[in-house]
Amino acid sequence: MFDYNHALILAFMLFTLGTAGVLLRRSALVVFMSIELMLNAVNLVLVVFSRLRGDLDGQVICFFIMAVAAAEAAVGLAIIIAFFKRKKHVDLDRASLLRS
Amino acid sequence: METVLFYLFAALTLASGLMVITRRNPVASALYLVLCFFGLAGIYVLMDAYFLAAIQIAVYAGAIMVLFLFVIMLLRLEPTELPSFMNSWSKRLYVAVTLVLGGVFLGLDLMRTVNTGADSALTGEAGAIADRLFNRYLLPFEVTALLLLVAIVGAVVMARRESPKPTASMEEV
Amino acid sequence: MTNWNVSLLAPEIVLSVCALLIMLLDPPLRRKRLAGFSESVALVGFLGALFLGLMRIGLPVDSSFGGFLIADALSTYLHILFAVIGLSVLIMSIPWLRRDGVRQTEFLVLLIFAVIGMMIMSCSAEMVTMFIGLELLSLPLYVLAGYLRNRERTIEASLKYFLLGAFASALLLMGIALQWGTYGTLHLSSVAPGSGAAPLSLPLAAAGFWLVVVGLGFKVSAVPFHFWTADVYEGSPTPVTALMSTGTKAAAMAVLLRLMSAGFAPAAIEWMPVLWWLAVLTMSVGNLMALVQANIKRMLAFSGIAHAGYLLLAICAGGTAGNAALLFYLAGYTVMNLGAFAIVGLLEGKGERFQSIYDYSGLAKRNPWLAAMMTIFLLSLAGIPATVGFMGKFFIFTETLKAGHIGLVVIALLNSLVSVYYYLRVIYLMYMKDEWGEKPVCRVPASVGILLAFTTLVTLWLGVAPNRLLDALMAAARIF
């Protein structure tokens, strides 16, 4: 059996990668994908702890997270499409109209 | 065997995760993200979370990522975007904080603060999960139903076509 | 035996049924030109939820769904508050929907669902339900923020709000996952260091706790997680801004209150210094940034950040009296902000053209009543005596002093002084300056007139006789 600590480390590395993606990338789509990466890291943490604790609740919470991710994806992508229709790009750095 | 597979999947997940945030072309990012989800599904199987592994593939890699790809194709984005490497000090600060936090997480785990000796033979099968879902977690489950309804309404509002007779209100500000 | 008492969810169920009715019946009825159907159903829904909330006053604490749902005095109070917020935003939005010729069916449905999300958040005793409620509140708001998706500012606000909201959700979720992993439970009363549940790993539990605080900090727009607030408030349609600044803030604050005063209370020594700084930063940055804003919505956004700082002060104070002060301030903040945003919504005109504070010059001559009411709301926000804003601040500062945070109170008082300047500037413009440019005469619809009269009266009444509400809130302030 492999070391569960390493699975946790993997999850935290993925989470950090996702956070870095959110903060560094300019394309709204890639930022959103990075957020999905973060959510998956959360799921991995839950599965590892679920296994460690012998409690299925963790996996049930994963199920909810997936449902939320799906709902967010539907709304978020629709917003990105509307944004693109209006502005012809999805570049967050150029979306600075509101910045004072 | 399991150990070898775990490290293979872990390497796959991590490498493709890194590719997601470094590719210029959003299509490439999306495809690497799918690969990353497959790697995670493999790890779930190794931890006997079978049902979750299945919906990881079906829902995440299948539904959500296909939606992403559709949108990327629909928008026909040119892969011209250069990663703006820390263009403002606030971003720089946040990245520094993130990296430090990541380092702390790693450090904590390397010190083995989590007692991993207590492995359970828990298997996540659909029946057992459904039991939890419809008993203990009934309330959040029902609220999730509302959430999905909201997602449908919201997506329709944001992405529907222009109404045939444009109202005078849509003037520019 | 699990208790499945669905009746505790009655307000949520009534609202859901109304939203479904609107969605099902609006298309066939619109063909028959039956105007006003959706609005009436939404109105009935909010009034019904308000009534059901009022009916619960004084009933004993009850829980349902295996302890996932808690119906205590706090949740009853918040249900009433959210029903009032929903009702007011509905009244504000109807003239706006007509004025700008916007499709209203989906707007009303999303508004109702957002309010349901707030209610679910306020009565969940455990973090999964709380999180789903938060999402049920956030998703409609992302869409409502960009409801006029052809407008550049609006769609930018929506995208910005969505990306930062989803990011905050991911942080919050990681916090929840770590909490569950280390304690094995997510009940708000038992996830805590030293609460009996033995953590697997203390550092991970601490990391989880801080991630939860950061995630909620985004929602209450506490500094340093506030940078989205002004842009999103400015870009969103004004009724939606009113909903964000009152409802979202109240719901997230309530969850923070439940967490800090129940589950996390034993660890107060650890989080108190951080919360202290959070409160100081939030107040000071909010007030200082508000000084330089020329757009009334941006000014109110930063003033909202500053008020979130005062609310954090009350969490620092803690104790039953401190919690009661927080809940009292929440009511006051809600009422005066709803009033102020209702006036902003009336005066901005079609296409939201008049949002600069200089557009308020000479308002006293054009619309003396509106100017008078705006003055009352602004004075209350500034915390001038005889208004609810003063009373709320008075209670919070006293409780904070009693808890021994003298430095915090001094900083808060200095902040209040600074804030008087930018509120008074608008009043000065309204009364002392001549009109600036040509303005259409503003006609006040009867419904909004009633709303304004109500909020004005409550602002003044609670400022003069706050004791009855405060006494009632003492019951709500005993959490778990």
Residue C356 forms beta bridges with which residues?
C295
User: What is the least distance, in Å, from the CA of B86 to any CA of chain A?
Assistant: 6
Q: Is the pLDDT of residue C12 over 70?
A: yes
**Nearest C-alpha neighbor of C134 from the set C192, C87, C88, C176:** C176
pLDDT of residue C169: 95
In total, the C-beta contacts within 8 angstroms joining chain A to chain B are 240
Peptide bond into C193 cis (omega under 30): no
Residue C126 forms beta bridges with which residues?
C187
What mean pLDDT do residues C166-182 have?
Answer: 92
| B34 compared with C207, residue with greater pLDDT | B34
User: Which chains have 3+ CB pairs within 8 A of C?
Assistant: A, B
Give me the count of residues in chain B: 173
Residue A27 forms beta bridges with which residues?
A91
Q: Do A61 and C231 touch (CB under 8 A)?
A: no
Which of chain A's residues have a Cβ under 8 Å away from the Cβ of C170?
Answer: 18, 35, 38-39, 42
Q: Which of residues 42-71 of A touch C (CB under 8 A)?
A: 42, 45-46, 48-49, 52-53, 55, 57-58, 61, 64-65, 68, 71
Q: Do A55 and B48 touch (CB under 8 A)?
A: no
User: What is the least distance, in Å, from the CA of C235 to any CA of chain A?
Assistant: 8
**Element (DSSP H or E) covering residue B136:** none
Q: Is the pLDDT of residue C121 over 50?
A: yes
How far is the CA of A92 from the CAs of A25, A96, B49, B162, in angstroms? 9, 7, 38, 25
pLDDT of residue B119: 62
pLDDT, one tens digit per residue, over C183-196 is 888 887 765 544 44
Instruction: Quickly state the pLDDT bin for B172 (edges 50, 70, 90).
Output: very low
Q: What percent of chain C has pLDDT over 70?
A: 94
Domain-located, residue C397: yes
Residues whose CB is less than 8 angstroms from the CB of residue C114 and which lie 6 or more positions away in sequence, other chains included: C136, C137, C140, C141, C144, C243, C247
Which of chain A's residues have a Cβ under 8 Å away from the Cβ of B57?
Answer: none
pLDDT of residue B51: 92
| C58 compared with B80, residue with greater pLDDT | C58
Interface test with B, best of C9, C120, C124, C180 (most B CBs within 10 A): C120
Q: Is the pLDDT of residue B164 over 60?
A: no
Interface test with C, best of B150, B162, B167 (most C CBs within 10 A): B150
Q: Do C166 and A92 touch (CB under 8 A)?
A: no
pLDDT of residue C471: 87
pLDDT of residue A97: 45
Q: Do A52 and C181 touch (CB under 8 A)?
A: yes
Q: Do C23 and B153 touch (CB under 8 A)?
A: yes
**Nearest C-alpha neighbor of C324 from the set C391, C267, C381:** C391
Domain-located, residue C1: no
Instruction: Quickly state the pLDDT bin for C85 (edges 50, 70, 90).
Output: very high
| C229 compared with A2, residue with greater pLDDT | C229
Q: How far is CA B132 from the centre of its chain?
A: 23
What mean pLDDT do residues A30-45 have?
Answer: 94
Instruction: Quickly state the pLDDT bin for C30 (edges 50, 70, 90).
Output: confident
Domain-located, residue C148: yes
Q: Do C143 and B171 touch (CB under 8 A)?
A: no
Q: Do C234 and A38 touch (CB under 8 A)?
A: no
pLDDT of residue C2: 67
Which of chain C's residues have a Cβ under 8 Å away from the Cβ of A52?
Answer: 181, 200
Q: What is the DSSP secondary-structure string of C363-403? A: HHHH-HHHHHHHHHHHHHHHT-TTSHHHHHHHHHHHHHHHT
| C449 compared with B89, residue with greater pLDDT | C449
User: Which chains have 3+ CB pairs within 8 A of A?
Assistant: B, C
Domains of chain A (ranges plus CATH)? 28-90 (1.10.287.3510)
Which of chain B's residues have a Cβ under 8 Å away from the Cβ of A21?
Answer: 20-21
pLDDT of residue C247: 94
| C23 compared with C1, residue with greater pLDDT | C23
What mean pLDDT do residues B42-71 have?
Answer: 91
What mean pLDDT do residues C466-470 have?
Answer: 89
What mean pLDDT do residues C313-321 have?
Answer: 87
Q: Do C128 and A64 touch (CB under 8 A)?
A: yes
Which of chain B's residues have a Cβ under 8 Å away from the Cβ of C115?
Answer: none
In total, the C-beta contacts within 8 angstroms joining chain A to chain C are 117
Q: Is the pLDDT of residue B118 over 90?
A: no
- Residue of chain C whose alpha carbon sits nearest to that of A73: C166
Distance CA C24, CA C30 (A): 11
Instruction: Quickly state the pLDDT bin for C163 (edges 50, 70, 90).
Output: very high
Q: Is the pLDDT of residue C376 over 70?
A: yes
Lowest mean pLDDT among B99-108, C28-37, C267-276: B99-108
Average pLDDT, chain C: 88
Share in percent of chain A as helix, strand, coil (round to 5):
80, 0, 20
- Residue of chain C whose alpha carbon sits nearest to that of A99: C231
Distance CA C424, CA C416 (A): 12
How many domains are there within chain C? 1
Q: Is the pLDDT of residue A45 over 90?
A: yes
User: What is the least distance, in Å, from the CA of A16 to any CA of chain B?
Assistant: 6
Instruction: Quickly state the pLDDT bin for C198 (edges 50, 70, 90).
Output: low
Residue C71 forms beta bridges with which residues?
C62
**Nearest C-alpha neighbor of C452 from the set C382, C372, C379:** C372
Interface test with A, best of B16, B18, B20 (most A CBs within 10 A): B20
Does residue C131 sit at the A interface (CB-CB below 8 Å)?
A: yes
Q: Do A40 and B36 touch (CB under 8 A)?
A: yes
Burial class of residue C468 (count of CB atoms within 10 Å of its CB; 0-12, 13-18, 19+): exposed
What mean pLDDT do residues A15-21 have?
Answer: 88
Q: Do C139 and A71 touch (CB under 8 A)?
A: yes
Q: Do A76 and C166 touch (CB under 8 A)?
A: yes
pLDDT of residue A7: 87
Q: Do C230 and A100 touch (CB under 8 A)?
A: yes
Q: Is the pLDDT of residue B167 over 80?
A: no
In total, the C-beta contacts within 8 angstroms joining chain B to chain C are 102
Average pLDDT, chain B: 79
**Measured between CB atoms, which of A38, A48, A99 is closest to C231?**
A99
User: Which chains have 3+ CB pairs within 8 A of B?
Assistant: A, C
Q: Do A58 and C180 touch (CB under 8 A)?
A: yes
Q: Which of residues 174-213 of C touch A (CB under 8 A)?
A: 174, 176-178, 180-182, 184, 200
What mean pLDDT do residues C11-21 have?
Answer: 95
Which of chain C's residues have a Cβ under 8 Å away from the Cβ of A53?
Answer: 181, 184, 200
Does residue C359 sit at the A interface (CB-CB below 8 Å)?
A: no
Q: Do B113 and C353 touch (CB under 8 A)?
A: no
Q: Do A7 and B110 touch (CB under 8 A)?
A: no
Q: Is the pLDDT of residue C110 over 80?
A: yes
Does residue C345 sit at the A interface (CB-CB below 8 Å)?
A: no
pLDDT, one tens digit per residue, over B65-100 is 999 999 988 887 766 554 454 455 556 666 666 666
| C292 compared with C227, residue with greater pLDDT | C292
pLDDT of residue C36: 80
Lowest mean pLDDT among C60-64, C105-109, C403-407: C60-64
pLDDT of residue B115: 54
Lowest mean pLDDT among B135-144, C416-425, C464-473: C464-473
Domain-located, residue C449: yes
Instruction: Quickly state the pLDDT bin for C355 (edges 50, 70, 90).
Output: confident
**Nearest C-alpha neighbor of C215 from the set C177, C267, C270, C160:** C177
Domain-located, residue C155: yes
Q: Do A87 and C132 touch (CB under 8 A)?
A: no
Report helix, strand or coil for A72. helix
ipTM of the complex: 0.95
What mean pLDDT do residues C74-93 have?
Answer: 95
Expressed as residue numbers, the domain containing C455 is 6-477
What mean pLDDT do residues B3-12 have?
Answer: 93
- Residue of chain C whose alpha carbon sits nearest to that of A21: C167
pLDDT of residue A98: 43
**Element (DSSP H or E) covering residue C113:** helix C105-123
Domain-located, residue C405: yes
What mean pLDDT do residues B114-122 have?
Answer: 60
